[in-house]
Amino acid sequence: MTDNARAPHVHHLRVRRTARYYTLGGSASTSGATRTVWLVLHGHSQLAGTFIRFFADLATDDTLVIAPEAMNRYYLVGPERAPASERPVGATWMTREDRASEIADYVEYLDTLYDDVIAERVRAGAQLNVIGFSQGAATATRWLVHGRAPVQRLVLWGGLLPPETDLFRTNERLRRTALTIVIGTRDQYIDEEALGAERARLDAAGLPYELVRFDGGHVITRSVFPRLRELTGVSDR
């Protein structure tokens, strides 16, 4: 038997999955009453049901907040720490394993969510804004570049554009979308050097952006919400 015969061969099979998402606000019964939709993408090891609560201040009768959950869930601690019934669970959008398939799958997932839940509201005049936190920042950017939703503002919070994004040759979807970067002054994952390199990269590509800083770490803080409302033309209620 040759060495090649002993080596495993990788294959891919498309299957159906059931995805979970949460909403806040948007209690008006008709899509035409929705003025603003905020799609918020959680970070690594978080769950959407907990994450969406950070954005409760944005939700009103005419502002809908939607938090889709990544479909890769896992226990955050091992069996030696706690039984399965007590172990906390988190989710991740992707890992380095089978990376291209993971990205394609979540882009398709978010496109389907847009078609089923958001598109009618956008056609009726609602503004779609996306916030990606931490790992969700890369997820949000890839969806904007490769998906089909007409995003008006992309907010990267505690995260930067994914490194493979070619700012010089990327499609026009990114250039047509208003970009906001939100970084805490004590963010343990994005220091001043990393932020400076990202700003230089954006400036070199001629890609405009708004930088919002706040006094804090790698967290969501309501103190930034008034500025986001101002940038998106939504009154601070």
Q: Are 129 and 232 in contact (CB under 8 A)?
A: yes
Q: What DSSP state is assigned to residue 78?
A: -
Task: With H, G, I as helix, E, B as strand and everything else as coil, classify residue 11.
Answer: coil
Between CA 188 and CA 92 the distance in angstroms is 19
Quickly count: other Cβ atoms within 10 Å of residue 43's Cβ.
24
> Among residues of the chain, what percentage have pLDDT more than 70?
93
The pLDDT score that the predictor gives to residue 168 is: 80
E strand or H helix at 212, and its extent?
strand 210-214
Q: Are 197 and 169 in contact (CB under 8 A)?
A: no
Q: What DSSP state is assigned to residue 124?
A: T
Alpha-carbon distance values, 34 to 59, 120, 136, 148, 183 (Å): 11, 10, 24, 20, 29
pLDDT tens track for 193-233 = 999 999 999 999 999 999 999 999 999 999 999 999 998 88
Domains of the chain in start order, with CATH, are: 21-232 (3.40.50.1820)
pLDDT tens track for 122-156 = 999 999 999 999 999 999 999 999 999 999 999 99
pLDDT tens track for 156-199 = 999 999 999 988 876 688 889 999 999 999 999 999 999 999 99
**Which residues, 6 or more positions from 87, have their beta carbon under 8 angstroms from its beta carbon?**
75, 76, 77, 79, 81
